[in-house]
A = this chain, B = another copy of it.
């Protein structure tokens, strides 16, 4: 906790009342949202609360007193095993803290996300970990501030004003490109899918910039279907318009799984005729044959970080917003080979 925050935590309601030049009783009515206080007085007291940081301490007091020992987690979908691993990491930390976690699926759409957030609030969760749905408006921060409810963004972010636990997607893409370049590859595709959000942009940008750094064509970004069982059929898209990629980096391991099937259907041997790199390094990467080289994003660690941020935010609501970015690590297995051997 910073010195400034420590100071804030000592502010009493009496300080607020003095600062606003009202009685303690009047300040108390404002805090309790009483209709008995006139608009002008309310505004003066609220301004004093803001200036002295008193609102936040009230929130902390309320939470300390009325904690439900339940954490809400909002994820955009559950079909990618990545989310199971992320939630597993969260659960271990939540369990260790003696809490219970409830999960809601936003379906990656802002309207449903708004509905599930509203329910979680009504249900009195102590705090929320939110992987913001694609298209979440950037006024999320001011809304959350109105709620007086601790919220942490995970995996994706829409504002710098709320805690964020994520991973350095761009650095992960750089690792993948560098590795393929070290094997002699130049015609490298990036196969993407799914909704567009901060983690999507960071990956695409990371790919393009790394490719440019090696003076390679940065625009081979090809979209494939969302469902793993549909991707194989669309693997041809990688070879459209005369493209002959010798290596493909995948948006995630799900895409790698689907493309592996598509390459099999085309008679392409992974790790020999074509190199393939996944992203996330979920358990399926180890179970693929040939084993999938993949950029590990350590979903379990991100889950752990998100819970740690939330617990600290609950205990100390006045902390400045923080951003914990995990490093990626390329996990080299058997799905890539030097270009010369193809």
Contacts and interface: CB of A to CB of B under 8 A. Distances in A.
Majority SS of interface residues in chain A? helix
A133 to B, nearest CB: 14
Contacts of A88: 78-79
B103 A103 contact: yes
Q: In the assembly, how many copies of this chain are there?
A: 2
A134 interface: no
A288 interface: yes
Contacts of A101: 104-105
A84 B91 contact: no
B91 A85 contact: no
A287 B102 contact: no
B104 A103 contact: yes
Interface stretch (A193-201, A202-210, A228-236): A228-236
Interface residues of A, number: 47
A122 interface: yes
Contacts of A228: 283-284, 287
Nearest to A117: B100
B257 A287 contact: yes
A189 interface: no
Interface of A: 68-70, 72, 77-79, 81, 83-85, 87-88, 91, 95, 100-105, 107, 112, 115-116, 119-120, 122-124, 227-229, 231-232, 257-258, 260-261, 264-265, 283-284, 286-289
Given A77-B84, A261-B288, 11 more contacts: A68-B119, A72-B102, A78-B83, A78-B84, A81-B81, A87-B105, A91-B105, A103-B105, A123-B124, A228-B287, A265-B289
